Amino acid sequence: MVESIARVRHIRVTPMKARRVVDLIRGRQAVEALAILQHLPQAAGEPVAKLVSSAMANARVKADATNEFLDEQDLVISRVTVDEGTTLKRFRPRAQGRAFRIRKRTSHITVVLATPDELVDSAAESATAKAGK
């Protein structure tokens, strides 16, 4: 029925740390995921929570545009990916005139929300695609 995407790029969280947070919410309901993210001690929880709420708002707007009924309790996180972004390279002075490289890593995070009937449709499509190969 409704599938919405929200994406944030070049966020100053390392991909490894962001993946730890994202793995906690993958496959859960969006409202439940927001509750989990708001109480996490990890710093990556806040931007991911903002991203999930943005995806929920995108779903609301998409449903209003097509005159469909949308219950936010039905939205499920169907896909979440964390990709590596650009790396900012900085130098730190060390002993005896040497320099030490510091890598400040960034991430690209993508959240895809879908309603349960949308998940069933996509699962059926992937099953037929695999059978055709």
State pTM to two decimals: 0.83
In tens, the pLDDT along 26-80 reads 999 999 999 999 999 999 999 999 999 999 999 999 999 988 888 889 999 999 9
Contact 71, 44 (CB under 8 A): no
Q: Given the structure tokens 């695999």, which residue do they identify?
A: 130
Question: Hey, where are the domains in the chain?
Answer: 3-132
Q: Which amino acid type is present at position 65?
A: A
Contact 108, 92 (CB under 8 A): no
CA dist., res. 127 & res. 117, Å (int): 15
- In this structure, which CATH number among 1.10.357.10, 3.90.470.10, 3.40.710.10, 3.40.50.2300 belongs to the domain 3-132? 3.90.470.10
Give the mean pLDDT of 15-30: 95
